[in-house]
Chains A and B, each alone.
Chain A
Amino acid sequence: MATPAKAPGRPSKANGKGAWVGRRLKRKEDPRLIRGISHYTDDFKLAGMVYCAFARSPHAHADIKSINTDAAKGTPGVIGVFTAQDTTSIGPVPCAIQMPGLKVPRHPVLAEGRVRYVGEPVAVVVAEDLYVARDAAEKVEVEYEPLPVVTDMEKALSNDTAYVHDEFKSNQAFTHTLKNGNLEAAFKKADKVVKQRMINQRLCPLAMEPRAVIAEYLPGENRLTVWSSTQIPHLLKTQISLLVGLPETSVRVIAPEVGGGFGSKLNVYSEEGVVPWLSMKVGRPVKWNEGRRENFMATIHGRDTINDVELALKKDGTILGMRSRVLADMGAYHQLLTPLIPQLTALMHAGCYKIPAIQIDIIGVFTNKMSTDAYRGAGRPEATYNVERIMDIAARELEMDPAQFRLKNFPKSKEFPYTTITGLTYDSAKYQESLAKALKLSGYDSLRKRQKSARKNGKYYGIGVSTYVEICAIGPSAATPAGGWESATVRIEPTGKVTLLTGASPHGQGEETTFAQLIADELGLVPDDINVVHGDTAVVPYGLGTYGSRATAVGGSAAYMATQKLKAKMATLAAHLLESKPSDIVFGRRSLSTKSGKKKSLSFGDVVTAAYTAHKIPAGFEPGLEATHFFEPSNFTFPFGAHIASVEVDAETGEVKIDKYVAVDDCGNVINPMLVAGQIHGGLAQGIGQAMWEELIYNEDGQLVTGTLMDYTMPKAHFFPEFVLDHTVTPSPVNPMGVKGVGEAGTIASTPCMVNAVCDALSPLGIRHIDMPLKPERVWRAIRQAESAPPKAESEESPKKQSKKGTAGRRRP
């Protein structure tokens, strides 16, 4: 990869920041994770622990006529079997989103009289061992009376439909319009209007570790401890206290090692209410471990939108206006953030373009499926897909090069902070520079030459360009449902070692390493001196967790600010000891010195000792060295970048071979380039995975037919070429470290980039769009349909010749 390598062991100053920030440091987390000697939730075994298993609905929509638990209860080893009748005291599964007109159905932890999706929990069995629990769960006899099933969003909104929730007499969960500028005028004066309907299919987040919960209630102390594979231990603690009715002070949540989340563990699930309640009920610790099939059925899904996008343009390629209608599948119930995700899609609909007028209509729809919610990118990939696909289609119809078309419509870097037509203020960017770098790195001109000669030989070679901007560092509190700040406590221990308690909750991102790097630089220490503690609500001050590419920009900034407080305190003490002024003290390697006059110096350890012994402290000086900071960002950050892919399509089979993939990303200042590259790699795999392979399919009966790893194509390493990565660095002005966030970037740009590449390859056939995933049969059908379509007179919308490559201007009707 093209990311500049730093020689190991030699400090670099990649961002002019310091000895450790900017270095490709291997993760402190890796040895324990790679050797399998660390602990995930399922690795814990408590004395007297029992196990539970859920009986789940095999129907997408049905009334429960009766439940007979006798056979399950009679199974040797079974301690109890519980249904909704027993769990009425557990609060409903929470939805944190409030918006005008939002319909929020009651979401019981166990189905109450009716089931609304396949996999909905109906009963729970507690048993002495896991095997008995699973066997007995199969013996819970439920008599169902099937009801008409709602799976198709458009049908769900028609008159000819059943209702997922009778009480609303509609399947529309909400509508929301974001509108600005004079759109009617823009479309009226347009030389050209391009339209496209696009499906953004439903995906499975597929964390390697499925969910798991252990709850231990101690009645004497009235203390409930919950271990959960979660991204948000503190928010979960608050919600569990509300779910089971214990004071929040009695609840402790621990997120041990968490094997990936991708947003799916940024949630509060039925099981996180039921398992603690069971422990209180049976008086024993209770464990629940989700199986992979349950994970497919009953952990949130991502995406699932139907989009109609229109763009009004001048002949010269200037964008005049944009209109989008987005149908967003909520599933049967709202999970924690379900209705929020499409709002992010609306906000990000301007992409990285100057668009004078816009209207986005978002309609949330209930269907008999598992809930959708935040999945890596959460609303931004959907927006970016719409924007980047329609830009590509527009460029083609205007016979402009897709890169040149984009360059023409970017705001210039001097226009930042740039306020978009959707009302966001982008912090900083250099879109032109980023795209230029990607073009150069990919050898764009030679790729186009290669395409030309491939076409002469009857081959289909395509080049996809996609740029993107995303919204990260979530975020300013005013714009988020639960606040958007983050906490950090930095404590310098008497031995001079440092403990950071962070409210972020890393689950694979590597902040135990990156946060240590940034504190090491501030204090003149090495990363091994700093121990980063997270994920235990009894140890760490309240924090909001890890999601939305926020941990470094918000949590890292909190750690930075708390460290500044300690530095000020240490400077005061050092100045007292050195008979100088605090403003005269500078931090060196393990030392504090005066910078003016006669150079006097103390070791870092001497100052720490002095702070703890408190023998020689100035008047009013508070002993000890601990500081807490709650960092409130002034804005989101807006990372951006440009990706280029080239593909070859086998026209006979419809197979797509990825030839080259280049990603230039800008996440502001970089703390650890190796971890940034890792985030990009994983993001690309997931984003390309959506474009090419991944697809959760519910059939008409609401059965999940791609609900195993034999059917659902999780991409494997050998599906990909070697990714070529580079970056530009545009520091963010909204946090002290100038960082932006990179956790989701790869997932956002790569999806449209791949589809753009395939559509570019097939453009000589007049193919303008194929819906994802671009599985071979779908590509083959598009080719076959294009080949069999008679050459057609040019449509009104495309008065010009179809392609500047001199290829046949055949177009599908």
Chain B
Amino acid sequence: MIPANFDYESPRTLSEALDLLASREDAKVLAGGHSLLPAMKLRLAQPAMLVDIGRIGGLSYIKEFADGIAIGTTTTHAEVAASEALLRNSPLLALAAAQIGDIQVRNRGTIGGSLAQAHPAADYPAAVLALDAEIVAHSRSGERVIPAAQFFTGMFSTALRNDEILTEVRISRTTGEGVTYKKFHHPASGYAVVGVAVRLKFSGSNIDSAAVGITGVADLAYRASAVEIALRGKPVSAIADAAARAANGVDIIGDYFASAEYRQHLVTVMTRRALEEAAASRRK
């Protein structure tokens, strides 16, 4: 459990960090270290240099702006989970953050680190997909805004370029919507065997539109568009039928804890329960 040799840099500004990152091909950004360091200890990852962004001022914040809320990249899961601004205006991220790992992980792990890692069973990806979040990255050539739908490109892979640092996540307010994050925990790792993030917009008693982000089930988190289509303009009684489509067209992963067949079943149950819970949360 001892990593291979690596260099360590701890810049104090974003531009220094970007310079360092550009200076070495196999440099990696270190935030909370809760994904990268375990991989390094198992020697699955052997970066030549770590650029620790933890001491750069001004990257940890939760700010309201006209169109929504912006979360700085080094904001910890615990801070996201406890944020009044989020819980009041757009609780989905906070609900997901509260269920990540355990207390120690939530106190150290960061939103930027988790998203950039793109673990197939991480919780945030389902939530940012359902929220149609914007993910902001910086490189030496400036800022780039990546829609969440284009951010995740595969298992542990994202649209981030090697010379970019993820700096901010922007989400819209979900006032008046039914919102929830429902998770089936892996008892050892705490990752999601299935995680379902749901937003329901209502028009009268019918569902106007649904956004369903699912993690843990495939190589990367996805939007369950078959479920969303089946709910459009429908009453809540359509939920069970719609949820049965949660894995439509998805290549489901299996492991020693949960086979693909079981996950396929579980994702429909968890999606149904999430939709029911979201619908109930709005009625309250």
Contacts A712-B188, A713-B188 given; indicate if A293 touches B1 (C-beta within 8 A): yes
A130 to B102: give the CA distance in the assembly, Å: 30
Binary flags per residue of A759-801, CB closer than 8 Å to B gives 1, else 0? 0000000000000000111001100000000000000000000
**A135 vs B259: C-alpha distance when bound (angstroms):** 36
Q: How far is the CA of A711 from the CA of B191 in the complex (A)?
A: 11
Asked if residues B42 and A714 are in contact (CB atoms below 8 Å), the reply is no
Q: How far does the alpha carbon of A138 sit from the alpha carbon of B3 in the complex, in Å? A: 12
A777 to B262, CA, bound (A): 6
Chain B 209-220, CB-CB to A under 8 Å as 1, else 0, gives 000000000000
Decide if A705 is an interface residue (CB 8 Å cutoff).
Answer: yes
A652 at the interface (CB under 8 A from B): yes
Asked if A719 and B258 sit within 8 Å, CB to CB, the answer is no
Assembled-state Cα–Cα distance A291/B3 (Å): 12
Q: Does B2 contact A (CB under 8 A)?
A: yes
B237 adjacent to chain A (CB < 8 Å): no
Given the known A-B contacts A293-B1, A777-B258, A777-B259, are A711 and B188 also in contact in the complex, defined by CB atoms under 8 Å? yes
**CA A705 – CA B256 in complex, angstroms?**
8
B188 neighbours in A (Cβ, 8 Å): 693, 709-714
Asked, given contacts A709-B188, A711-B188, A713-B188, whether A135 binds B4 with beta carbons under 8 Å apart, the answer is yes
Indicate if the CB atoms of B4 and A653 lie closer than 8 Å: no
Question: In chain B between 234 and 284, which residues have their CB closer than 8 angstroms to a CB of chain A?
Answer: 256-259, 262, 265-266, 269-270
Contact for A780 among B2, B43, B256, B265, CB less than 8 A? B265
Q: Considering the chains assembled together, what is the distance between the CA atoms of A776 and B2 in angstroms?
A: 34
Q: At the interface, yes or no: B189 with Cβ under 8 Å from chain A? A: yes
B187→A291 contact, CB < 8 A:
no
Whether B5 contacts A293 by the Cβ 8 Å rule is no
Q: A719 and B187: CB pair below 8 A?
A: yes
The answer to whether A706 touches B2, judged by C-beta atoms less than 8 angstroms apart, is: no
> Do residues B1 and A291 form an inter-chain contact, with CB atoms below 8 A?
yes
Q: In this complex, what residue of B is CB-closest to A718?
A: B102
Q: In this complex, what residue of B is CB-closest to A210?
A: B1
A134 contacts the other chain (CB 8 A): yes
Bound complex: CA of A708 vs CA of B39, how far in Å? 12
Q: Which chain A residue has the least Cβ–Cβ distance from B194?
A: A653
Which residues on A sit within 8 Å (CB–CB) of B256? 697, 705-706, 711
Nearest CB in chain B to that of A711: its residue: B188
Complex CA gap A554/B187 in Å reads 39
Q: How far is the CA of A800 from the CA of B270 in the complex (A)?
A: 39
**Nearest Cβ in chain A — how far from B70, in angstroms?**
32
Query: B189 to A780, Cβ gap below 8 A?
Result: no
Question: Interface on chain B toward A: helix, strand, loop, or mixed SS?
Answer: loop
* Interface 0/1 of A574-590, CB less than 8 Å to B: 00000000000000000
- A-B interface pairs (CB < 8 A), number: 51
In the bound complex, CA of A714 to CA of B186 (Å)? 12
CB of A408 within 8 A of chain B? no
A positions within 8 Å CB-CB of B:
130-131, 134-135, 138, 291-293, 652-653, 655, 693, 697, 705-706, 708-716, 719, 775-777, 780-781
Whether B262 and A652, one on each chain, are in contact in the complex, defined by CB atoms closer than 8 angstroms, is no
User: Is A653 touching B184 in the complex (CB atoms < 8 A)?
Assistant: yes
Residue of A292, A705, A712, A775 near B1 (CB, 8 A) is A292
CA A423 to CA B200, docked complex, whole Å: 68
Chain A residue at minimal CB-CB distance from B2: A134
Q: What does the 1/0 interface line of B27-69 toward A look like (CB < 8 Å)?
A: 0000000000010001100000000000000000000000000
Known: A713-B187, A713-B188, A719-B187. A293 touches B257 (CB 8 A): no
Which residue of the partner chain, among B2, B38, B257, contacts A777 with CB atoms under 8 Å? B257
| Most chain A beta carbons < 10 A, residue from B5, B187, B258 | B187
Chain B residues with Cβ below 8 Å from A776 are 184, 258, 262, 266
Chain A residue numbers with a CB within 8 Å of B189 are: 710-711
Docked complex Cα distance between A713 and B258 (Å): 13
Partner of A653, one of B43, B102, B259, B266: B266
Residues of A within 8 A of B43 (CB): 138
Q: Which B residues are CB-close (under 8 A) to A138?
A: 43
Between A and B, 5 residue pairs with Cβ closer than 8 Å are A710-B38, A710-B189, A712-B188, A777-B257, A780-B265
- Among candidates B4, B5, B187, B262, residue contacting A693 with C-beta atoms closer than 8 Å: B187
Q: In the complex, what distance in Å separates the CA atom of A776 from the CA atom of B259?
A: 11
Whole-angstrom distance between the Cβ of A202 and the nearest chain B Cβ? 13
Return chain A residues, CB-CB under 8 Å to B4.
Answer: 135
- Residue among A138, A292, A713, A719 having the largest count of chain B Cβ atoms under 10 Å: A713
The closest CB in chain B to the CB of A709 belongs to B188
**Nearest-CB distance from A282 to chain B (Å)?**
21
Closest to A138 in B: B43
Closest Cβ of chain A to B277, distance in Å, is 15
State the 4 A-B residue pairs at the shortest beta-carbon distance, nearest first: A713-B188, A291-B1, A777-B262, A710-B189
Closest chain A CB from B86 CB (angstroms): 24
A130: nearest chain-B partner, CB-CB: B2
Other-chain contact of B262, A705, A710, A780 (Cβ < 8 Å): A780
| Nearest A residue to B258, CB-CB | A777
* B4 (CB) vs chain A CBs: closest residue: A135
CA distance A33 to B106 in the complex (A): 26
Query: With the chains together, A708 CA to B41 CA distance in Å?
Result: 12
Which residue of B is nearest A133, CB measured? B2
Chain B positions within 8 Å of A714 at CB level? 188
CB neighbours of A781 from chain B (8 A)? 262
Cβ-closest chain A residue relative to B269: A652
